[in-house]
Amino acid sequence: MAIPVRFLVYGLSTSCITLLYALRLAFHSTIICQLENSTVSFLLDEDLKQYTFQSVGFGLAVGLVPLHFLNFLGTRNVTTIYGIIGILSALFYPTSYQMGFYASFVTRLLQGAPLGILLWLIAKVATDWTPKTETAIAIAILTSVYQLAPFVAQISAAEMCQYFGWEYTYYFLAVLCAISHIAFYFVYTDRVEDNQLASAEEKSLILEGKGKSGKQVSENVPYSQLLLDPTVWATWFANLAFFSSLLVFLQYGPLYMNQVLGFSVRITGYSGGLAHVFCLFAKIVFGKVMDKSQMDMTKRLKAAWTVVEIPSLALLLALIMLRDVYIQMACIVIFITIHGVAIVIIVKTQTYRSAEHNHVLANGNTLCVVLCLFLQPLIVKFLVQSNTFDEWSRVFGLHAILILTSVIFFTCKVDATPAKWTGIQKVETKIEKP
């Protein structure tokens, strides 16, 4: 039996953005190898190291700007262009590192630019290629980038550092990224109706229930109404809390486990990688449960956010209070597993609320990521000066407050029904009771 084309689209889309993200995350593992036995690296300077961390944030901000103006090129072409930039910058990074800080900063900036399409592409595929009956499972697959990318980056870096040299991490991932983008270009089409690989039955399934009002799709984005919608701001704040909390372990997790907890680079890489694999399975199961639930969608999403984030909050508090290194490691792995599911709820809420304008909310999500990438290195530098448990407890405590606030805001303000400023007609689905 042939694989449905939409699942190829989900898989290839996920593969492309996963490898682009892995190329950016690899640095947080290879930096340990780059600094090992080094006395001349510019990364030994704390200020230059901070700027290097922030360079990706600058790149992401730069990469986000053209997205609005490149929409006319179509999703397939934009994804290909951004992929080429990410691949070339990754291939050049080992050389730029040898050239010094400025060359390395520019290359890292170019590595950050393609990340602007992560949430944008997820929103496009979730809106255009996903049947309404399998939204949650599709989003679970697409957002697995947040689990697969750290796993691929950390495992690749651990093995390459062990046997070949940290430089080969970037060469290896760049080749895989190129293969994924080539396959994506030949499978994906911007309009489902134009795809030559999908059957008529599959096209009908994908398009069912996506009726629009007379003009099919609103020509202009109603920014004024969109920006006054409490649900939009609730999901953006939820994304800020989600990504900032996850970024602590994506960006600083390997260093924390290696330098504070005392685990080796290899154990650090595999433990972090396995945590993201566990989360991937959790998201798939969670997605199926979400799709099959008959609870009202708004209540379903509010309940899901609470079920996922309250345990995440408890785990951060455990990291503050418990000092045993093995318990700390277990708490980090479980936190990544549970907390990573939250992105499914955010994207699903935005998809239902904003319909054809989902990509605008996705760009807002990316702005939240930019904000985190700019501010988090400054906050960590201010709160963590000696790399002690007590100092890192302040970082965990700050993010516990963020998560608690997101739970309150999300449960009070979210509405998953299509907004009046969308072009979609509300389709009432009657559930037959036995």
pLDDT of residue 37: 63
Q: How far is residue 145 from each of residues 61, 72, 207, 343, measured CA to CA in Å? A: 20, 26, 25, 11
Task: Identify any residues that bridge with 424 across adjacent strands, giving them in sequence order.
Answer: 212
Predicted structure pTM score: 0.73
Closest CA to 119 of 424, 360, 400, 303: 360
Q: How far is residue 130 from each of residues 112, 208, 348, measured CA to CA in Å? A: 28, 10, 11
Tokens of 368: 């939240």
pLDDT at 234 over 70: yes
pLDDT band at 410 (very low <50, low <70, confident <90, very high): very high
pLDDT of residue 57: 79
pLDDT of residue 409: 94
pLDDT of residue 423: 64
Q: Are 170 and 93 within 8 A, CB to CB?
A: yes
CA atoms within 13 A on the CB side of 414: 31
pLDDT of residue 139: 83
Most confident range (mean pLDDT) of 89-103, 158-172, 174-188 is 174-188
pLDDT band at 38 (very low <50, low <70, confident <90, very high): low
pLDDT at 217 over 60: no
pLDDT band at 428 (very low <50, low <70, confident <90, very high): very low
Tokens of 421: 């400023």
Looking at 96-110, 203-217, 281-295, which range is the least confident one? 203-217
pLDDT of residue 302: 93
The mean per-residue pLDDT over the stretch 402-431 comes to 76
pLDDT at 55 over 80: yes
pLDDT at 209 over 70: no
Looking at 160-164, 265-269, 298-302, 367-371, which range is the least confident one? 265-269
pLDDT band at 126 (very low <50, low <70, confident <90, very high): confident
Higher pLDDT, 250 or 183: 183
Closest CA to 251 of 381, 387, 377: 377
The mean per-residue pLDDT over the stretch 245-272 comes to 80
The mean per-residue pLDDT over the stretch 36-47 comes to 72
pLDDT band at 44 (very low <50, low <70, confident <90, very high): confident
pLDDT band at 434 (very low <50, low <70, confident <90, very high): very low
Average predicted confidence (pLDDT) for the chain: 84
Closest CA to 399 of 340, 320, 345: 320
Q: Are 68 and 96 within 8 A, CB to CB?
A: no
